[in-house]
Structure 1
Amino acid sequence: MNHPYPGRASDVRRNPFALKIVVAALAGAGLLAGAPVARAQDAQVAAEKEQEEGLKAQPVNAVIVTGVRRAAQSAQTIKRNSDEVVDSIVAEEAGKFPDKNVAEILGRVTGVQIRREFGEANSVIVRGLPGLATLLNGREVFTSSGRNLYLADIPTTMLQRIDVYKTQGAEMVEGGTAGVIDVRTSRPFDFKGFTANLNGRIEHRDKSNTNDPQVSGMLSNRWKGAFGEVGVLAGLSYQKGNYHDEVTWNSPPEHPVAGNRTVTGPFDLGHVNYQGERMRYAANWAVQWRPVREVELFAEGWSTRIDHDAQRQFFTGHVGWNAQPWTPSGDVEWGQGRYTNPTYTLFPGTNQIDSVTATKPDGNYHFFAASGSQAPRDDSEGHQGAIGARWDITPKLRLTGELARTISRWKQEMPIMELLADPQTITARTYVNGGAWFDYPGTDMMSPDSYRLGAFTDNWSGSRGQSTDWRADATYDNGEDSFFREFSSGVRVASRKASYQHESANFVGAHANLPAVAALPGGAICPSMPLSENYGMNQWLTVCDDYMHANIDQIRKMYLRDGRTEPWPYSLYRNTEDTTAFYAKTKFGFAVGGIPVEGTAGVRYVKTELDVNGFSNVQNNPVPAHRNTSDNDILPNLTMKALLTKDLIGRFNAGKAIQRPNFGDFNPGESLGTAPNSQGIYEGNGGNPDLKPVIGKNYDLALEWYFAPTGSLTTTVFRHDFENYIVRRLGMETIGGREYRMDRPRNVNEGQLKGVEIGYRQFYDFLPGWLGGFGLEANYTYMEGYLLEDGKRNPFVGMSKNAYNIVGLYERGPWSARLAYNYRSQFVDAYNYRGLGFNLVVEPIKTADASLSYRFNENMGITLDVENITDRTYNDYHGIASNPRDVRRYDRVVGLSLRWRM
C-alpha cells in the first residue's frame, strides 16, 4: 500500500527536531496560512495540475497552452471546481495583467460594473449593488474608516489572481451581501524556483497632454536544505498618473423664466476641469518556510501610499431670469443677479429653454459669474501584515491559523478660492454637444481686470482605521467514499477601530479690503485648462492650486483668519467594533440515478459589539454622545453541485449574508436647529447608532458546460432578498419635547434583486493555420430589483438592467492581442434629486479598450495598449434627456510597456 503523502514519513524521521520546534512555536503563538488562504492556494495548485496533465496529453501538433490560454484555462478550472459561484481572473504570467489596478481589471468579470473618473476606475459594484466584502489573501482589508478597500490602490503587477465570489461560504469573512472580492498576491512557493520580472511603462493622456512613467518589479526564490524549504518574495511598484476630466453642466430646470411660469430652464450653467497628479507606491513581501512537509509557516505584508494633488477649476454662469425686478438699493447677493429683458427660444414642441441672451442694465451688479478653484491634496496609506501556519497533524487532519494587523489612514487639505466677474451680456445654449454652451460678448474672461476676489473656504478632513484579526481553522478529511467527506470548523476574533473628523466654520465671505486680482503676486492666477470641445467660453482664469497651498497662512490672514480652521466637534466619531465568529461546515457527496452530487452545508455565527462615540448639539453646545450596541447573526449556507455529464455541471446555492453599516452612519452626534424654517418646522440631522446590518438571503441556480479546456458556456439565475437595507431619508422625531424633521440613515424593510448571468469563453484552436489563434470571451447580465420605501418600489440606485462585455482575443506565436468592449444601460443616480421631484438618470456607458503584445523571446516582450478608444462621454439628465445635467469627458490613454522576466 502506498503512503497517501509520499515522502512525509521519511521527512519526519530525517528532521524530528524541526517538527517539535515548529509545533511548540505554533502552540505558543496561537497560530495553528488561514483557511481561505490555504484553500485559495489549493485551488490554484489544482488548476495548474490539470493544465500540466492536459499539456502532457496534447498531440505534437496541438496549440501550446501558454499566456492568455493558460490564464483562461486556470480561471475556468477554478470556477469549475469551486463549491461557490465564483469568477476568477488569473495572471497570464507572474506580474502580467493588461490593466493597471484591481478596480480596472474587475470590469471584465461577469456581473461586475465599474465607474471611471479622476484618471482611473474608482468604484466597483457586483450585480448592481455596492454591498461588497474585500479580502486580501482571504483576510479583511479596508481603506481608512471605510468598510472596503479602495481597489485601485492595488496594482495588478503584484497579483496572482482575483476571485469574485457571488455566493459566500460559512468559512469566509462575513460582510458582503452582493459578493466578496478576494485579491490574491503572489507567494514564493507559487513558483518553481528563482523568478524575477521588471515592468516599465510610459503612458500618454490626450486631454492632460502628459507622459507618465510607471515601473514595477518582483524577485522570488526558494531553497532546500537541512532546515527544510524556504521561499522569499519581494515586489515594488510605482505609478505616476496625470489626468484631465472635463464637465459642462446645467443646473436643474426651474421656473419662472423671465416671469413666465409655464417655461422651465436652468438658472445656472457651468464648466469644470478636474486635473490632477496621482503618485502611487506599493510593496508586497512574503516568506514561507516548510521545515517538514506536514508544516508550513508564513509571514507576508502589503503596503501602499498615495499622494494625490488635484485642482478642480469651476466656472458658474448665472443666467439671471429668475430674479425679481431690480431696485437700486444695496449690494446684490449671490444668485440674485438681474439681467433685463432676456430673450429665449424653446426646443420645438416643448416649454424647455433652448437658447437665451440677456444683458444687465448697468454695471452696479455683482456675482453674475464666478470662477472657483478647489485644490484638494490627498495623502493616504495602508498596511497589512500577517503571520500564520499550517500543520497537517495526520494525513486527514489539518490545522491552520493566522494573526493579521491592518492600519490605514487618509487626510485631505482642500482650500477653495473664488474669483467673481461682472460681464454685461450672456449668450447661452442649454444643450450643445451634450452640455451647456455659453459666452460673454464684450468681456475678456482671460484678463485679471475682469475679476475680483470672492469667498475663501478652508477645508480639511481626516480618517483612520485599524484592526487586529486572529483566526484558527481545523479540517478533517473523512474520505471520498463517505457521505460526509469533510468536516471543518473555525473561529475568528477581530477588533476594528475607525475615526473621522473635519473642519468647522470653514467659509469666509469676501470683504472690502481684499486686494485686486491684478495686484496678487506672480503665480497666483492661472489660465484654466482649455475644454476639448467648443462650449463657447472654453477657457477662463482661476486661482492656482500651488499658490493656495504654498501661501495658505497668508491667504488666511488676507481673509482675517488666524491659523487653520478648528475641528467641528459634531463631525467626530470614534468607533470600536469587536466581532467574534464561529463556523462549522461539512462537505458531502452522493449519487442520484447514477449522477454524482457534491455539496456543502455550513453555518456561521457572528456576534458584533459596537461602541460609538461622538458629540451632539444641545443648545449650541457640544455634548458627548455615547452608545453601545450588540448584534447576533446566524448565517447558514448550502451548496449543491450535480455532475450531470463529464462536462456539464448543475449548481444550487442558498445562503444568508450580512452587510454592516458604514462607520459614519453610526455617528451618535446630532445637530438640531434652534429656529423653525419658513414652513415652521424644526430641522436636524445626524447619524443613527441603532442601525441594523443589512440582511441578504441569496439564491443561485447555475448550469455550466465545459466543452473544452478553454471553452465554456455558463448560465446563472440569481435572486437576493434584502431586509434592513439602509437609505438616508427624512422623518419626524420627538427630541427633548420638540418635533424635528431629522435627516439620518435608516433601515427600510424590504428589497429584492433578481437576474441572470450568461458567460461564454472559447479559443478556436480547431480553425486552420493562423485562424486558430482567435478566441472570444463574452458575458451578459440582466437585473431587475427594487427597494420598498414608503409603499413605493424604486429600482436600486446605480443598478443597470443590462450589462455586457465582449473581448476578442488573439494569440499565436509571439503575437497576442485583445479588443474589449463594455456596455451598461442607463441607471438612476439619485431619486427626487435635490427634492425637486425628478430623478437624476445616467445614460448608457460604453467603453472600448485594446492591447497588442509581441514577445521577442521567452524573457522579453512589449505591449501597446489604448484605453478609451471611442472617447466615451458620461451623460446624465434631470428626469428627461432634453434636460441634461452633465456631459463628462475623460482622457484617452495610450500606453507602451516593456516587460522582462527570468
Structure 2
Amino acid sequence: MHARRRFALRATVAALAGAGLMSAATVGAQEVGAATADVPAASAPSNAENNTARASADRDAAVVTVTGTRQAAQSAQAIKRNAEQVLDSIVADDIGKFPDKNVAEILGRVPGVQVIRQNGEAGNVVIRGLGGITTLYNGREMFTAAGRSLFLADVPVAMLQRVDVYKSQGADMVEGGTSGVIDVRTNRPFDFKGAQAAFNVRAEHRDKADKIDPNVSGLLSNRWKTAMGEIGLLGGLSYQRGRYHDETAFVGEPRTIDRGIIGAPSMGRVMSGGDRERLAGNLSAQWRPSSDLELYAESFSTKIDHDSQSIFFVGDLPINNPGSTVTPMPGSNYLGSISNPNVNTFTLSSTQARRDDSETHQGAVGAIWKATPGVRVSGEVVRTVSKYSQKNPILDTVMNMSKAINAEVRDGGGYLEYPGTDMTDPANWTMFALFDNHNRSRGAATDWRGDVAWTPEADGFFKELSVGARHVQRDASFVHELNGYTAAPNSFTPNAIKVTDFPGLNCTSPKTGGNYGMNQFYAPCRDYLLDNTGAIRQVIKGNPNPQPDNPLSFYSDREQSSAAYIKANFGFDAWSLPIDGTAGLRYVKTKQRISGFSSTAGVVSPVTVSSTTNDVLPSLSMRAHFRQDLIGRLSASKAIERAPFGDFNPGLTLFPSTTTTLATGTAGNPNLMPQEARNVDVALEWYFAPAGSITGTLFQHDYENYLRRSARPETYDGLTYNVSRPYNAVEGKLKGAELAYQQFYTKLPGWLGGLGMQANVTWMDGGLAEADGTINTFAGMSKLSANLVALYEYGKWSGRIAYSWRDKFTAEYNYRALPYNIVVDPLKTLDASVSYKLTDKLTVTLDGSNLLDQSYHDYHSVPELPRDVRRYDRVVGLALRWRN
C-alpha cells in the first residue's frame, strides 16, 4: 500500500506538471522537499509543447525559489529523475545565475553534448555527436532568420531559469530534432512569492584581444492580488559587448611537390576578430482571474550588431623553384621544410570585413482553463519574426617582389617567415581583387496549438489522456550578391593600384599569440572597407555601386505543418513492481512550396516546386521503480528532421575559378526527403541522495534518408565545378552509452562538507552507409567525451572547476574533393568560477574560461599533413550581483 501511495503521488504531480498547471518554481520546491524526505518528487514538465504556459499551482500554494549551487544541482537531478523522457537539465544557482555567459557554453557540460568555441565564445552545439537539434524557448519553436533553429549563443544566461536537453521525444512535443531538443526556460512572475529584483554587472577581459568589455543585466518582477484576480509582471534586460581575437596558422591542402615529396604548396594565417554587441529583453505577464483560469502573454527579443574581420595571409611556397632547399620529415616522404634565399612567389593579404545585423522577436498569448475537476484545456498563439543581413566586402592585396622565404612543419602546424622583408610596409602591397559580397535572410512563423487533458477520477490503469493539435506556417527567404568577384586592373605591373593611395585603408594585422614565424603583416583596414566600400568599388570596378542580388541564390519557402497527437499516461503494478509511463502517436502533414530561379544554357527562369509529406511518429516511455531510489527507464520513439530551407533551393549558382579560389558551385535539392530516426534509450538511475546519483544510459539511433551535404565534380558548358549539394544518404546507425555521477560530500567534517563532484562520460560509435557499402563515422562525432566538475559551497563561498574533453573526430570527408579527410585532435577546456557573498544581497564572482589556452588542431588524414592550429581568447570576468 505504501508503494501504491507513493506511485499515486508521483502520477498526480506528474499530471499537473505535464499539463502546465504547476510552475517550474513550484515543481522545484516539490522536488526539493520530496527528495529531502526521500519520497519520489514532482515530475518535470512532461513535454515541450503542452506546458508552454507553465502556470502556477493553486493561488494559495507556496512558491519556493531554489538557490545555491547544491540546491540547483538537487533540483536538476529531481527534474531528470521524474521526467517522462530521457533528459538532462541545468538549473540556475540563483535568478539567472550560471557560471557561463550564454546557453551554448552552459551545455558543454551536459552528458552527450559537445560544443565548439569560436568568435570569442561557444556556438556550435551537437547532441550525441550530431546536429539536427530543435531549439525551443519556453516550449515554443524558436529560430534565427531562415534557419531551422536558434543560434544558442544569442541567448544570455541572465534571463534563464534552466535549460532542458531532451534526448527522447514524446507525442506531445514539437516534431523535429532527430538527435535531441533543447528547451530554454525563463523566469515568470508567478515563479516568485512577490516582488523580486536582481541586477548583475560584469567586466570581462580577453587576453588575445586585450580588451575589457561590459556585461550588464537586470530583472524586475512582482505579483499582486486585485479585485480582478492575481496579476504578475516580469521584465528582464541584458546587454553584452564582446571584442575578441581568434588566430589560425594554416597549411594548404597536400599534393605531390618537389622530388615526389607530399606537402602543401602554401602556408598562411587567418587572424579573426570582432566587436559584437547583444541586447536582449523579455517580458512576461500572468493573470489568474480565478483558481481555474490563467491567461498569459510574454515576449522575447534579441538584437545583435557585429562588426568582424578575417585577415588572410597566403604565402605560396617555392616548390619546384630553382634555388629551393626541400627537406622531408625524417624517415618519411612528407614535407618537413622548404626555403629559398631569393624568390618571388605569390604572396597575398586579404581582409574579409563583415557587418552583421540580426534581430529576433517572439510574442505569445495563451490560456489554461480547468474546465472541470478532471479536464484541462489550454491554447496558445505565437508569432516569431527574425531577420539577418550581412555586408561583406573582401579586398585582396598582393606583394610583387623577390624575397627570402623559410617554411616548415613545426609542432603540428605551419611555420612561415620572410627574413629581411618588412611585411607590414604598405608600400610593398598593391590591390589584387575585390569580392563585393552581401546577403540577407528572413524567417517568420505563426504558430497555434491547443490541448485537452482528462484525468480520470478513479485510480485505474490510465492516469491521464490528452489530445492536441498544432498548426504552423513558416516562411523563409534568402538571397546573396551576383558576381561579387572583380579582379583589380594592372595587377603585377608597375601600374597596379597602390594601397598607399588610400591612407585610411592601411593597417597591420594583430600580433600572433603563437609562434608561427612571421608575427605581423600588412592588412587592409576592416572599418575602412565597411565604411568606404564605394571608394574601393570605384577604383577596381569603375563605379561605386554595390552588386545586385543574384536571382539564382534566391529562394522563398512557405512551409505549412499541421499536427495532431494522442497520448496516454498510464501506471500499474507488475508483480508488486510499480511501472508508469506514456504512450502516444503524433501525425504530421507538411506542405511545402519553394520558389527560386534556375539557369539552363545561360537563361535564368523562375521555378516553383511543391511537395507534401505525411509522417506518423509513435512514442513509448516507461519507468520501473525497482526501489524508492532505483529507476529503470525505457524510451522508444520515431523522430523526423526536415532539411534546412536553403537545401531545398532549386537554383544552381556557379563560381568560376580565380587565382586564389577553385571553381565551385552550390545547389539545392527541392525533392529532399525528411531525415528519419528510430531512437531507443534504456537507462538505469540510482538516486542515493537528494543531490547524489549514478545514472547510465544505452542508446541507439537508426537513421533513414540521413541528410548530408557533400561536394562533387560536375561539368557545365565544358567546365568542371566542385558543386556542393545536399543528399539523402542511404542509412545510418548510432549507438552509445552515457554514464553520469553526481554527489555532494556533506558528511565530511567542517569546510570539507561543501565539496561536490559531477562527472560524466559518453561513448558513441556508428556512421553512414555509403553507396559503395563502406561506412564512415558521422562527421563531427567524437567517439569518447567526458566532463569533470568540482563543486564547492560552504558558508559565503561557492565555486566550481569544470574540465571538458572530447576525443578526436573527422570534421570533413574528402576535403575539397581530395583523397584526404580533415581530422581534429582531442579538445580540452578548463573553466572555473568562485563566488563570495559580501552580504545577503550582494555577491562577487570571479570566473575564467579557456584557462588552458587550448588550441584547436586538425590535419589532412595523417598528423604529418597538418591543416590548422587555431587559438582563442582566454577570458577572465569579474561580476557583482545584487538581488533583494
TM-score > 0.5, shorter chain as reference: yes
Shift of 1:143: 0.4
Question: In 2, distance between residues paired with 1:94 and 1:351?
Answer: 59
Question: In 1, distance between residues paired with 2:789 and 2:20?
Answer: 30
User: Does residue 224 of structure 1 match 2:205?
Assistant: no
**Residue equivalent to 2:766:** 785
User: Does residue 282 of structure 1 match 2:306?
Assistant: no
- 8 Å contact from structure 1 (residues 493, 581) kept in 2: yes
Shift of 1:451: 1.4
Q: Secondary structure at the match of 1:76?
A: helix
Change (3 A) 1:457 1:877: same
Shift of 1:857: 1.9
Which one-letter code corresponds to 1:294 in the other structure? Answer: D
Which one-letter code corresponds to 1:644 in the other structure? Answer: F
Change (3 A) 1:509 1:684: closer
1:559-598 alignment, distance < 5 Å = 559=540, 560-598=542-580
Shift of 1:429: 3.5
- 8 Å contact from structure 1 (residues 368, 423) kept in 2: no
- 8 Å contact from structure 1 (residues 355, 427) kept in 2: no
**Residue equivalent to 2:263:** 265
Which one-letter code corresponds to 1:219 in the other structure? Answer: L
Shift of 1:731: 7.5
**Residue equivalent to 1:773:** 754
User: Does residue 837 of structure 1 match 2:819?
Assistant: yes
Q: Secondary structure at the match of 2:94?
A: coil
Shift of 1:441: 2.0
User: Does residue 553 of structure 1 match 2:534?
Assistant: yes
Alignment counterpart, residue 497 of structure 1, candidates 475, 484, 493: 475
**Residue equivalent to 1:476:** 454
Shift of 1:768: 1.1
- 8 Å contact from structure 2 (residues 129, 781) kept in 1: yes
Shift of 1:532: 0.9
Change (3 A) 1:618 1:451: same
1:76-91 alignment, distance < 5 Å = 76-91=77-92
Q: Secondary structure at the match of 1:376?
A: strand
Question: In 2, distance between residues paired with 1:57 and 1:655?
Answer: 31
Question: In 2, distance between residues paired with 1:741 and 1:199?
Answer: 50
Shift of 1:740: 11
Shift of 1:432: 2.3
1:274-313 alignment, distance < 5 Å = 274-313=272-311
Q: Deviations over 1:135-179 (max 9, x none)?
A: 101110000000000001110010011110000010000011000
Alignment counterpart, residue 401 of structure 1, candidates 379, 384, 387: 379
**Residue equivalent to 1:158:** 159
Question: In 2, distance between residues paired with 1:121 and 1:743?
Answer: 27
Change (3 A) 1:895 1:734: closer
Shift of 1:725: 0.4
1:58-97 alignment, distance < 5 Å = 66-97=67-98
Alignment counterpart, residue 688 of structure 2, candidates 707, 712, 734: 707
Which one-letter code corresponds to 1:804 in the other structure? Answer: A
Change (3 A) 1:673 1:846: closer
**Residue equivalent to 1:826:** 808
Query: TM-score when scaled to structure 2?
Result: 0.91
Q: Deviations over 1:441-488 (max 9, x none)?
A: 232112122211211111100100000000000111125721011100
Question: In 2, distance between residues paired with 1:602 and 1:532?
Answer: 55
Change (3 A) 1:268 1:480: farther
User: Does residue 761 of structure 1 match 2:742?
Assistant: yes
Q: Deviations over 1:391-425 (max 9, x none)?
A: 00112110011000000001100111122113423
Change (3 A) 1:353 1:507: same
Question: In 2, distance between residues paired with 1:844 and 1:161?
Answer: 29
Question: In 1, distance between residues paired with 2:604 and 2:153?
Answer: 38
Q: Deviations over 1:816-868 (max 9, x none)?
A: 01000000000001111112111110000000011110011221100000111
- 8 Å contact from structure 2 (residues 301, 360) kept in 1: yes
User: Does residue 51 of structure 1 match 2:20?
Assistant: no
Q: Which moved more, 1:739-748 or 1:710-719?
A: 739-748
Question: In 2, distance between residues paired with 1:735 and 1:493?
Answer: 42
Q: Secondary structure at the match of 2:579?
A: strand
Q: Deviations over 1:8-53 (max 9, x none)?
A: xxxxxxxxxxxxxxxxxxxxxxxxxx99985495555233123245
Which one-letter code corresponds to 2:551 in the other structure? Answer: P
Change (3 A) 1:168 1:718: same
Unaligned runs of 5+ in 1: 1-33, 59-63, 323-338, 676-681
Q: Deviations over 1:684-713 (max 9, x none)?
A: 752111101000000000000000000000
Question: In 2, distance between residues paired with 1:413 and 1:672?
Answer: 21
User: Does residue 389 of structure 1 match 2:367?
Assistant: yes
Question: In 2, distance between residues paired with 1:387 and 1:139?
Answer: 12
Question: In 2, distance between residues paired with 1:449 and 1:135?
Answer: 53
Shift of 1:340: 2.2
Q: Secondary structure at the match of 1:575?
A: strand
Q: Secondary structure at the match of 1:628?
A: strand
1:2-81 alignment, distance < 5 Å = 39=20, 41-42=22-23, 44-52=25-33, 66-81=67-82
**Residue equivalent to 1:13:** none
Change (3 A) 1:684 1:529: closer
Q: Secondary structure at the match of 1:375?
A: strand
Change (3 A) 1:816 1:247: same
**Residue equivalent to 1:4:** none
**Residue equivalent to 2:193:** 192
Change (3 A) 1:472 1:279: same
Which one-letter code corresponds to 1:242 in the other structure? Answer: R
**Residue equivalent to 2:701:** 720
- 8 Å contact from structure 1 (residues 168, 657) kept in 2: yes
Shift of 1:268: 0.3
Question: In 1, distance between residues paired with 2:536 and 2:656?
Answer: 33
Change (3 A) 1:426 1:799: farther
Shift of 1:735: 11
Number of residue pairs matched by the alignment? 834
Identity %: 49
Which one-letter code corresponds to 2:767 in the other structure? Answer: Y
Query: TM-score when scaled to structure 1?
Result: 0.89
Shift of 1:438: 1.3
Q: Secondary structure at the match of 1:557?
A: helix
Question: In 2, distance between residues paired with 1:489 and 1:414?
Answer: 49
Q: Deviations over 1:256-283 (max 9, x none)?
A: 32xx2x2111100001110111000000
Alignment counterpart, residue 622 of structure 2, candidates 640, 664, 672: 640
**Residue equivalent to 1:372:** 350
Q: Deviations over 1:106-143 (max 9, x none)?
A: 11111100000000111100000101111101110000
**Residue equivalent to 1:12:** none
Question: In 2, distance between residues paired with 1:793 and 1:696?
Answer: 18
Shift of 1:761: 0.5
Question: In 2, distance between residues paired with 1:207 and 1:446?
Answer: 20
Unaligned runs of 5+ in 2: 1-14, 40-64, 658-662
User: Does residue 132 of structure 1 match 2:130?
Assistant: no
Change (3 A) 1:38 1:194: farther
- 8 Å contact from structure 1 (residues 35, 473) kept in 2: no
Alignment counterpart, residue 317 of structure 1, candidates 315, 318, 329: 315
Q: Deviations over 1:32-77 (max 9, x none)?
A: xx9998549555523312324566899xxxxx99501110111111
Question: In 2, distance between residues paired with 1:796 and 1:511?
Answer: 45
Larger radius of gyration: 1
- 8 Å contact from structure 2 (residues 276, 304) kept in 1: yes
User: Does residue 178 of structure 1 match 2:179?
Assistant: yes
CA RMSD of aligned residues (A): 2.4
User: Does residue 454 of structure 1 match 2:432?
Assistant: yes
Question: In 2, distance between residues paired with 1:168 and 1:479?
Answer: 28
Question: In 2, distance between residues paired with 1:159 and 1:866?
Answer: 20
- 8 Å contact from structure 2 (residues 113, 127) kept in 1: yes
**Residue equivalent to 2:4:** none
Which one-letter code corresponds to 1:253 in the other structure? Answer: P
Change (3 A) 1:429 1:320: closer
